[in-house]
A = this chain, B = another copy of it.
C-alpha cells in the first residue's frame, strides 16, 4: 500500500495524514494495513520470525519485507531479538500489542473460511484450549452478546463525521 507516511514519521504524525476523518480504523490500518504486514504478523504469531522464513512463507520481496519489519518494530508491534551472537542472528517476535492484533487475524480467517472456500476445506484449523476448533465470535464485553450490525449505532465524538444511518442491501 503506502498509507502515506513521512520520511521520519513519529507514529502520531503519519497516522492522520490523508483521511479527512479522525478514525481509529484508519489509524490502525496506517500501521498494519500495508501489503504483507498482517501476513508478517501471522507468521510471527506462529513462531516463524526469522527473515528467511518470512520471505519463504509469505512470498514477499526481501526489500519490502525489510521495510515492513522496520515499520512494525517502530510501531511497537514486533521486537527484533537476537537468538544468536556470533553469527548475529535475529528473530522477530510479537509484543503484547502485536498479540492483541491476533483476534483480527482470527476474524479475517473465519470470514475467508466461510465466504471464500466453497469446498469447505479449511487450510488451517486453530485449536482453542477448550479442546474445540476455534470459531471466533466478536461479542460485546458489557453484555456478552454477539455483535450484530443491527445492534450498533455510531456516535461520532469529533467533527468530520456524517452518519446517514444503517442500511443493508
| B-binding residues in A (CB < 8 A) | 1-3, 11-12, 15, 18-29, 31, 33-35, 38-39, 42, 45-49, 53, 56-59, 76, 78-79, 81, 93-117, 121-145, 147, 149-158, 160-169
Contact = CB atoms under 8 A, between A and B. Distances in A.
Which of A35, A59, A115, A153 gathers the greatest number of chain B CB atoms within 10 Å?
A115
Copies in the complex: 2
Majority SS at the chain A contact face: mixed
Contacts of A58: 19-20
B108 A25 contact: yes
A81 B153 contact: no
Contacts of A93: 167-169
Q: 6 closest Cβ contacts across the A-B interface?
A: A24-B112, A47-B164, A103-B138, A22-B123, A130-B143, A132-B142
